Structure 1
Amino acid sequence: MDPIMIPILGIVFGCTIPMVAIWAKHKQKLAQMQISTTAEQTAEKAAQYASQVQQLEDRVRVLERIVTDKGYDVATQIEALRDQRRVDEEGTGVPLNINQKETAS
């Protein structure tokens, strides 16, 4: 090996080591930023899911209340609503009053 190569190799390695250290530090910062961004997105999605779950629970409570409070009148009310829609579509007839119960003879 030439005696001149030793100082050249020293200069090359002397410059390369700090550049690798700077690059590694930069990569570490990028990884930390990505982790924090992912955590924020996860928290946001969790809040959205919680909101959706709450809305679904509210809807189920309403449905349970309809079924348990009205008993067997639910089928009658559904049919009355269907009849109401037919009347609205045809534009003729008298809508059924769903507040009145039919009496069995």
Structure 2
Amino acid sequence: MSFGATLVAIVAILAWASLRHRRHSAQQDTYPIADAAENAALAREVAALRSRVEVLERILTDQRGSTDLAREIESLRDR
């Protein structure tokens, strides 16, 4: 292989690596940015789920009888 052919091969390899790096960088920047309305909706949903978990924890840790537990579960279903 002559010096010129070696030089062309090295330049081709560097160009190929540069293109792959640019494509990879461009793909990482394509994540959608959430808007304020979506963030607020997600915050409300998280708050609602936290309150439901608190209720479930309270039901599970109470030392009351099974009839009280059944009545409380039914009252929560009515909401």
TM (norm. structure 1) is 0.39
Larger CA Rg, structure 1 vs 2: 1
